[in-house]
Amino acid sequence: MTRSHTIRVQLGERSYDVVVGSGVRSQVFSALPSTARRALVITQDGIPFAIADDLKSAGLSVSTLTIGDGEEHKSLSTIEAIMVECANIGLTRNDVIVGVGGGMVTDVAGFAASLWHRGIAAVHVSTTLVGMVDAAIGGKTGVNLSTGKNLVGSFWQPRAVFCDTDALASLSPQEIRCGHGEMAKYHFLTGDNLLALELAERIARCVQIKADIVGADEREGGRRMLLNYGHTLAHALEIATDFSLAHGEAVAIGLVYAAHVAHQLGRIDQHRVDQHRAVVTGEYGLSCALPAGVSHEQLIQLMHGDKKALTGLTFVLDGPRGVEPVTSVDLEAVRRALHSMEVR
């Protein structure tokens, strides 16, 4: 095994480690509660690791539930199926749910763990770049409704997260792009040149940035909102394109769009907008153009439905004090910014 990186998410007695590196999945057993006799592994077809076999070899009684691929399966009916499986296998409060997969799996597995018997232990093995740098870390769990993404969920911190970089070789180009979209976000939050780092170090640095933010503001009362940079338009785009645009790809577009909104509001100059475009397209190799055929008014309607929209349209925007949440954003500025975007 090559050198691994361990980052601690500091949350008092709920603090936990995120371990990044090649082969770190072999450490999962050591993170389970000592009381666990049974484990329910939640995964999807095509996930490269046989964690269930490792846990069986370690003496646990293990069941595996394979959930569907695609955002339509990130649903309350999937949660119900998991709850029924928990009942069928007699999972107790002493036992554990292990999520093995990308962000969708760990979001669903974490949510299920938060619900079963009012909350049992969860451990995650993250197998995608976007999961490793974002989704698996920080305890946000949940599922979608037809009206919006992640509208039903909970904060439920895992006991540990393993980001095994061996999984990255099997990712599709779209999954890699998604990870890069979230990394570009961290670039704007910190100014770090993440691309100068070797891959495992780069993931570990992203985890550290996120761990620091989550440690300071677990329940998104303030600073954690910054992690939503680029996400207001991104979530709307995902829904408007029926998820043909994946999350991180949509975030890339959302970052450049947020720069246009900030420019329309006089918060940043054109040079800073150009920097956003250069980082997203030039450095991270992502498209920042709106997909053709998506109506601006539909996007605006969807952005109104965003969880963050407490007072009018809400965006995380760059400005003289850096990136910060801005509420009640002027609708005309939002429209003009959409018109400023390239279309492909």
Catalytic residues: 118, 140, 182, 210, 220, 224, 228, 231, 235, 247
Q: Does 74 bind ligand GLY (CB under 6 A)?
A: no
Q: What share of the chain is helix, strand, coil (3-state, %, to 5)?
A: 50, 20, 35
Residue 213 CA to residue 224 CA, distance in Å, equals 6
Backbone angles phi, psi at 124, to 5 degrees: -115, 140
Q: How far is the CB of 138 from ligand GLY (least distance, A)?
A: 4
Identify which of residues 62 and 258 has a Cβ nearer to ligand GLY in the complex: 258
Q: Does 136 bind ligand GLY (CB under 6 A)?
A: no
Please check whether residue 193 is in contact with residue 51, taking contact to mean a CB–CB distance below 8 angstroms. Answer: no
Q: How far is the CB of 19 from ligand GLY (least distance, A)?
A: 19
SS (H, E, C) 168-200: HHHCCHHHHHHHHHHHHHHHHHHCCCHHHCCHH
Q: How far is the CB of 140 from ligand GLY (least distance, A)?
A: 4
Residue with nearest beta carbon to ligand GLY: 227
Q: How far is the CB of 204 from ligand GLY (least distance, A)?
A: 17
Please check whether residue 301 is in contact with residue 295, taking contact to mean a CB–CB distance below 8 angstroms. Answer: no
Total site size for ligand GLY, rule CB under 6 A: 5
What's the Cα-to-Cα distance from 180 to each of 13, 38, 310, rounded to whole Å?
A: 32, 36, 29
Q: How far is the CB of 214 from ligand GLY (least distance, A)?
A: 7
Q: Does 99 bind ligand GLY (CB under 6 A)?
A: no
Q: Which of 110, 138, 153, 254 binds ligand GLY (CB under 6 A)?
A: 138
3-state secondary structure of 34: coil
The residues in 226-265 that bind ligand GLY, with binding defined as CB under 6 A, are 227
Q: Which of 107, 134, 175, 306 binds ligand GLY (CB under 6 A)?
A: 134
Between CA 338 and CA 344, with CA 341 as vertex, the angle to 5 degrees is 120
The residues in 183-222 that bind ligand GLY, with binding defined as CB under 6 A, are none
What's the Cα-to-Cα distance from 164 to each of 158, 159, 202, rounded to whole Å?
A: 16, 16, 13
The binding site for ligand GLY (CB under 6 A) comprises: 134, 138, 140, 224, 227
